[in-house]
């Protein structure tokens, strides 16, 4: 039975994004920063989605969130700020084995899949069509 507090896995044209169990960060991997959003409160529904998807209301000081994308793992580090709702921001890191180079092209496509997963989970006025249009305007890889 699926957990109603977790969003469903989301498949895009490129990849499936899955929430992984907390605290299962692969050993021998380093974090490579891909995206930093320091202020999720511009649109609080994004903070709400991430709080619900990763159980942050129950364990705000727990391990970073983990997402799987076709066997690759990404870490979401949730940022807190004094007198701000948690999470106030988020950083998304690719977890890369040892000192192996980051596959930039693959990371860009996976990051796009993660953004699609987030937008699909937020819903409401936020649509995948709107995200795709924005991605094409700014020539985002994967859009």
- pLDDT tens track for 14-43: 589 999 998 889 999 999 999 999 999 889
Checking if the pLDDT of 5 tops 50, the result is no
State both tokens at 115: 């953004």
Domain range for 37 is 10-137
Whether 6 shows a pLDDT value over 80: the answer reads: no
Residue 2 belongs to some domain of the structure: no
1 in any annotated domain? no
What's the total number of domains in the chain? 1
Structural domain contains residue 41? yes
* Residue 125 belongs to a domain: yes
pTM of the model: 0.87
Query: Is 3 domain-assigned?
Result: no
Q: Answer yes or no: is 93 within a domain.
A: yes
The answer to whether residue 137 scores a pLDDT higher than 70 is: yes
* 40 falls within a domain: yes
Within 13 Å, how many C-alpha atoms sit on residue 45's CB side? 9
3-state helix, strand, coil in the chain (%, to 5): 30, 25, 45
């Amino acid at each position: 039975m699926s957990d109603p507090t977790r969003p469903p896995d989301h498949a895009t044209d490129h990849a499936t994004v899955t929430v992984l169990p907390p605290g299962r960060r692969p050993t021998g991997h380093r974090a490579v920063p891909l995206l930093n959003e320091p202020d999720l409160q511009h649109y609080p529904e994004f903070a709400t989605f991430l709080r619900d998807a990763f159980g942050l209301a129950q364990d705000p000081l727990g391990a970073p969130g983990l997402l799987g994308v076709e066997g690759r793992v990404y870490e979401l580090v949730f940022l807190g700020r004094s007198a701000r709702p948690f999470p106030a921001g988020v950083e998304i890191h690719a977890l890369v084995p040892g000192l192996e180079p980051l596959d930039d092209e693959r990371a860009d496509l996976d990051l796009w899949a993660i953004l699609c997963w987030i937008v699909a989970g937020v819903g409401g006025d936020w649509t995948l069509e709107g995200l795709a249009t924005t991605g094409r305007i700014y020539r985002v890889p994967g859009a």
